[in-house]
A and B are shown apart, each in its own frame.
Chain A
Amino acid sequence: MITLEQKQFAQIKEMASHYDRLLVLGCQTCSAMSFAGGEREVKELASMIRMERKISGKPGDILEDAIARQCDPELVDLIGDKVRGCDAVLSLACGAGVQMLAERFPDKMILPGCNTTFLGVTEELGVWSERCAGCGDCILDKTAGLCPIARCSKQLLNGPCGGSVNGKCEISKDVDCVWQLIIDRLARLNRLEMLEEIFPVKDWSPAGHGGPRKMIIEDLKS
């Protein structure tokens, strides 16, 4: 899943202050699962903005809504009337959702209420961690299913480096050295010889370094 976190309220307050009639719009997929912008957070955030405005004497109405996903045009279009009836939309979706809104409603200001953080997994309720960097060229077959691009602080392909101490990365004692994990797992799988293969220099063009990415499936597209 894509993980998100809600922006600091001070920042939200500031960006929203220019608009009287504001729609707080939740996104009921990744954002909801990250507890950043589902229906529950919409309710809370709208309440907070209303209170803040009342306290500081600012006028305006705060509307609330949530849709299944903000990254699909058909879903976004379903709330067209509501969007057109307000001055700006505070989107609680990831950056993709915010931009889809901006694309579908060219005359409306769309504000991001969340920061898109990473592609990751749920470790437990309330705890997520990064697992994938979306580099466009997966090498997990060679690294025992553990990604050094997403999980090594230096994105080393031939690790570990000298900063690996007792299985931890030198940047923080809370960060595992993924190369240590890779070695441990290969040992368990009895495939330590795989470490003898040296990775060549990585081609980063599929990772976006060749410009914005686009994906087309020829037989699907209209």
Chain B
Amino acid sequence: MTRNEPSTEIEYAPCKLACPILTDAREYIQLIAERRFEEALTAIMSQNPLPRTCGRICTHPCEQVCKRGQVDEPVAIAALKRFAADGPWKDRLRQVLPKASSGHKVAVVGSGPSGLAAAHDLALLGHTVTVLEKLPIAGGMMAVGIPSYRLPRDVLEADIRTIEDLGVEVKTGVTFGNDVTVESLTGDGYQAIFLGTGLHLSRRLNVEGEDLPGVLKGVDFLRDVALGKPVTLDASVIVVGGGNVAIDVARTALRVGARDVLMVCLEKQEEMPAAESEIEEAREEGVAVVNCFGPKRFLENSGRLSGIEFKSCTCVFDEKGAFCPQYDENELTAMDADTVIVAIGQAADLSFAEKDGLTVTRRGGLEADPITLQTPIAGVFAGGDVISGPATVTKAIAAGKRAAVSIDFYLRGESIPRSEPAIADQVASLPPGVIERTRQFARSKIAGLPVEQRLSSFSEVGPPFSEDLATKEALRCLHCYLGARVNKEKCISCLTCLRVCPLQVPTVSKVGEITIDPFVCQACGMCALECPVQAIEISLDPGGEIAREVEKAIASSQHLERLIVGFFDLHGNFAKKDLKGLREDYPNVLPVMTFGLRRIDRSDILKAFECGADAVFLAGCPPNRDPFPEAGDRIKRRTAHARTQLEAVGLDGRRLEIFDMPDEGLVEKGSITELIQRIKEMEPSPLRVRR
């Protein structure tokens, strides 16, 4: 893996490295796979202050680098985040309470993603935070830029409420520069200020006729619709622009009355900055896209807009890839329109800057140190779009989080660290043989709202994952860097790992040194288990973990007459409620969940009996869901061997059973009742310590 720093010791999964806030997606994906949804959300919330929002509108750079993508399609990480963040368990979740108050007060200007993230982290650090918002509602561009069919308002409000629950006060309708200033805030006892004012002005085309009635600005249009101002459009609308905002404008136009919406942009189809999936959704809804045209002038008829004249755009970028459009002025095309909405970019409204002595950069943003986010004024920090230019919500959150760290250091009177965040520049390629040997599982997909229903409302278009789909999807994770680690001091170069690995990941050198690439390994666990000197650890479930779980389960069930330990494969097709059902229907069965029966060693089985289990069974997942079905035969033989070991010590071998899980659910009723019956007919385990 190549990185921008020589960080060979830091082995971040690609998904984590690609995330602006370094979210460890693996953590919550595994918890979802384990049907531990509430803990998954806790894990997300420990890293992300806006989990429900990000689950919907994050551009998920993590998915672009997902290792699974090299095999078939990336894990649907964003949809999984939304699943974890949306479930009914969210209401049960207790927020981590802030530490004792530090006594410091911080003002955050702007309630967009950077401001809210800064407020969230500062509150957790014990500071008293007030968020000041100019608009009548909180959320910044998430509330007035992103249409509610992509991010429902109640979802955003819920995220904001969670932050308010930390003691953060959000005041709307307060304009920085007018109602409050740096000076007045300082006078009110605020020791630090964070400016996350965003980009709320539309960029102008600066062509003839731009101020005609009927020509609207994209950002203003979206804001007006979001704030519930009366906006109705006539029959035909042209949207100028090819980015995500232009798409939002076009799709919103359809929802407020436009009959025909045409998007016209400079770029060729494949050059358009908008996300491909969003272009697709817009097309589904009836938005037409015309490429390679640049506006020349707006056309007028009796003082009102009648259309727009375009010139042909021959090339958008120069040799270095910089924006530098070239036109053919001789090839002109006029198009009729009742309304034209210009969505070619956003700019900062920095009318407050001069009054407060803040410096504005040549690009029209605020000046601040790109790492510490300090402005030239002591105690004033700035971040988000106003510093970086138009970026994603996640990048703004990252800036807010970074600002919180800087502010915390500043308030404590310590110098602010200048560490650069790690950024992935390239993900290693899987060897072709490993790709070939990795079993493919199709990415879970679910149809969105039908187009007719979409257009008649602002209802959310993107569908949520069901529990079934979410767990299935989470089980597609290939566990980057959670696999085998060889303890070189213990390794005796016996080559067992090399021989047993289903993907042929381990390699050996001439002197017998074993190397297992931690990126390539998929943590199947076979080598760790078979290693005769136990020199391999699997981070996904470290050595002895299963035996400890068995001990714990048995120790806490001593009131039961008979104890049956059941090892279940998490790849089975079962729901969380099935686990509950199992406990109710078969209280004597103590379930131990694993990422595959191949992880269950004979010593784990023996351990269960040693601790007093009357019976043990292994329930393997249906073969169509098993990522390593070739291990099935070995597991059966291993279990047969364990049976002879039981017989040797004087226990009936029929106390140990192995069977397949049904196509749906945890256990086949017939198999388990037969086993229970068999155990009842036998003497209780002589190994049970009766208390």
**Chain A: residues with CB nearer than 8 A to chain B?**
8-10, 13, 28-29, 32-33, 35, 38-41, 43-44, 47-48, 50-52, 54-56, 66, 122, 124-125
Are B492's CB and A29's CB within 8 A? Answer: yes
Shortest CB–CB separation between residue B486 and chain A, in angstroms? Answer: 15
B376 contacts across to A, CB distance below 8 A: none
19 A-B pairs within 8 Å (CB atoms) are namely: A9-B648, A28-B490, A28-B492, A28-B532, A33-B492, A33-B532, A38-B532, A38-B534, A39-B533, A43-B603, A44-B603, A48-B606, A48-B648, A51-B610, A51-B649, A51-B651, A55-B649, A55-B650, A125-B496
Query: A10 near B648 (CB under 8 angstroms)?
Result: yes
- 7 additional A-B residue pairs with CB within 8 Å, beyond A40-B532, A47-B610: A39-B533, A40-B603, A44-B606, A55-B650, A55-B651, A122-B495, A124-B499
Near A by CB (< 8 A), chain B positions 480-494 give: 490, 492, 494
Q: How far is the CA of A38 from the CA of B533 in the complex (A)?
A: 5
Closest chain-B Cβ to A116's Cβ sits at a distance in Å of: 17
Which 3 A/B pairs are nearest by Cβ-Cβ distance?
Answer: A38-B532, A9-B648, A125-B499
The chain B residue with its CB closest to the CB of A53 is B649
Q: Majority SS of interface residues in chain A?
A: helix
Within the complex, the shortest CB–CB distance from A76 to chain B, in Å, comes to 17
Q: Are B499 and A40 in contact (CB under 8 A)?
A: no
B534 touches A39 (CB 8 A): yes
Q: When chains A and B are docked, how far (Å) is the Cα of A12 from the Cα of B533?
A: 21
For residue B601, give the distance in angstroms from its CB to the closest CB of chain A.
8
> In chain B, what residue has the closest Cβ to A124?
B499
Contact residues in B for A52 (Cβ distance below 8 Å): 648-650
Count, chain B residues at interface, CB 8 A: 25
Binding site for A on B (CB under 8 A): 490, 492, 494-496, 499-500, 531-534, 601-603, 606-607, 609-610, 645, 648-651, 686-687
B687 touches A54 (CB 8 A): yes
A204 to B130, CA, bound (A): 95
A40 near B531: Cβ-Cβ < 8 Å: yes
A40 to B490, CA, bound (A): 13
* Closest Cβ–Cβ distance, residue B621 to chain A (whole Å): 24
Cβ contacts under 8 Å, A41 to chain B: 532
- A33-B494 CB under 8 A given contacts A9-B648, A47-B607, A48-B606: yes
In the bound complex, residues from chain A placing their C-beta under 8 Å from that of B649 are 9, 48, 51-52, 55
Inter-chain CA distance A44–B531, complex, in Å, is 14
Residue from B494, B495, B645 having most chain A Cβ neighbours under 10 A: B494
Report Cα–Cα, A35/B638, bound state, in Å: 13
Residues of A within 8 A of B607 (CB): 47
A-chain residues with CB within 8 Å of residue B601 when the two chains form the complex: 40
In the bound assembly, the distance between CA atoms of A125 and B499 in angstroms comes to 6
Question: Are A48 and B645 touching (Cβ within 8 A)?
Answer: yes
Residue of A nearest to B547 (CB): A43
Give complex CA distance A32, B493 in Å: 11
CA–CA, A28 and B606, complex, Å: 22
- A8's nearest neighbour on chain B, judged by CB, is B648
Partner of A51, one of B490, B494, B531, B606: B606
Residue of A nearest to B500 (CB): A125
Chain A's nearest CB lies how many Å from the CB of B11? 26
Q: Tell me which residues across on chain A come within 8 A of B686, comparing CB atoms.
A: 54-55
Query: A48: which B residues are within 8 A, CB to CB?
Result: 606, 645, 648-649
Contact residues in A for B687 (Cβ distance below 8 Å): 51, 54-55
Q: How far is the CA of A55 from the CA of B490 in the complex (A)?
A: 35
Contacts of A43 in B (CB 8 A): 603
How far apart sit A28 and B493, CA to CA, in the bound complex (Å)? 11
- A28: chain B residues within 8 A (beta carbon): 490, 492, 532-533
A29–B500 alpha-carbon span in the complex (Å): 19
Residues in A neighbouring B531, C-beta threshold 8 A: 40
Complexed CA–CA distance, A40 and B492 (Å):
14
Picked from B495, B533, B650, B651, the residue with its CB within 8 Å of the CB of A32 is B533
**A50-B532 contact given A9-B649, A44-B602, CB 8 Å threshold:** no
Assess the B496–A47 pair: CB atoms within 8 A.
Answer: no
Chain A residues contacting B651 (CB-CB under 8 Å) are 51, 55
- Rounded to whole Å, the gap between the CB of A60 and the closest CB of chain B is 15
Q: Are A66 and B648 in contact (CB under 8 A)?
A: no
Nearest CB on B from A42, distance (A):
10
The answer to whether B494 touches A32, judged by C-beta atoms less than 8 angstroms apart, is yes
Least CB separation from B534: chain A residue: A39
Distance from A115 Cβ to chain B, minimum over Cβ atoms (Å): 16
A11 to chain B, nearest CB (A): 10
Residue of B nearest to A54 (CB): B687
A47 in contact with B606 (CB, 8 Å): yes
Chain B residues with CB under 8 Å of A54's CB are 686-687
The answer, among A9, A32, A47, for a CB contact under 8 Å with B532, is A32
> Please, how many angstroms separate the alpha-carbon atoms of A8 and B494 in the complex?
24
**Chain B CB within 10 Å, residue with most, of A43, A66, A122:** A43
The distance from the CB of B497 to the nearest CB of chain A, in whole angstroms, is 10
Judging by beta carbons under 8 Å apart, are A66 and B610 in contact? Answer: no
Give chain B nearest CB distance to A204 CB in angstroms: 33
Instruction: Please report the C-alpha to C-alpha distance between residue A51 and residue B611 in the assembled complex, in whole angstroms.
Output: 9
Please report the C-alpha to C-alpha distance between residue A198 and residue B495 in the assembled complex, in whole angstroms. Answer: 41
In the bound complex, how far is the Cα of B492 from the Cα of A29, in angstroms? 7
Return chain B residues, CB-CB under 8 Å to A39: 532-534
B534 touches A40 (CB 8 A): yes
Q: Compute how far the CA of A170 lies from the CA of B137 in the bound complex, rounded to whole angstroms.
A: 93
Whole-angstrom distance from the CB of B544 to the nearest CB of chain A?
10
A47 to chain B, nearest CB (A): 4
Say yes or no: A44 contacts B534, CB within 8 Å: no
Q: Which residues does chain A contribute within 8 Å of B534, judged by CB atoms? A: 38-40
Tell me, rounded to whole Å, the shortest Cβ–Cβ distance linking B543 to chain A.
Answer: 10
B533: chain A residues at CB < 8 Å are 28, 32, 38-40, 66
Docked complex Cα distance between A38 and B603 (Å): 13
Which residue on B lies nearest to A51, using beta carbons?
B649
Min CB gap A71→B, angstroms = 14
Give CA–CA (A55, B646) in the complex, Å: 12
A54-B602 Cα distance, complex, nearest whole Å: 19
Nearest Cβ on chain B to A56's Cβ, whole angstroms: 7
Q: Which chain A residue shows the least CB distance to B650?
A: A55
Min CB–CB distance A63 → chain B (angstroms): 15
- Complex CA distance for A48 and B532, rounded to whole angstroms: 18
Cβ–Cβ < 8 Å partners of A44 in chain B: 602-603, 606, 645
Closest Cβ–Cβ distance, residue A106 to chain B (whole Å): 29
**Contacts of A55 on B, CB cut-off 8 Å?**
649-651, 686-687
Q: Which of A28, A51, A56, A66 has the most CB of B within 10 A?
A: A51
Q: Are B532 and A51 in contact (CB under 8 A)?
A: no
Minimal beta-carbon separation of B133 from chain A (angstroms)? 62
Which of A8, A47, A56, A125 is the one whose CB lies under 8 Å from B603? A47
- Give the Cβ gap from A170 to chain B, nearest Cβ, in Å: 32
Min CB–CB distance B650 → chain A (angstroms): 5
A47–B607 CA distance with the chains assembled, in angstroms: 7
> With the chains together, A48 CA to B648 CA distance in Å?
8
A55 to B685, CA, bound (A): 9
Contact B648 A35 (CB under 8 A): no
Chain B residues in 8 Å Cβ range of A10: 648
- In-complex Cβ contact of A56 among B495, B499, B650 (8 A): B650
B496 / chain A contacts, CB cutoff of 8 Å = 125
Chain B residues whose CB sits within 8 angstroms of the CB of A125 once the complex forms:
496, 499-500
A72: min CB distance to chain B, Å: 14
The residues of B that contact A124 with a CB separation of less than 8 Å are: 499
**Docked-complex contact A50 and B492, CB < 8 angstroms:** no
- Chain B nearest CB from A128 CB (Å) reads 12
Residues of B within 8 A of A33 (CB): 492, 494, 532
| Cα separation A2 to B681 with both chains bound (whole Å) | 46
For A9, the closest partner residue in chain B by CB is B648
- Min CB–CB distance B499 → chain A (angstroms): 4
**B499 neighbours in A (Cβ, 8 Å):** 124-125
B531 vs chain A, min Cβ distance (A): 7
The minimal Cβ–Cβ distance linking A36 to chain B, given in whole angstroms, is: 9
Minimum distance in angstroms from A9 CB to a CB of chain B: 4
Tell me, rounded to whole Å, the shortest Cβ–Cβ distance linking A24 to chain B.
Answer: 13
Most buried by B among A9, A28, A33, A48: A48
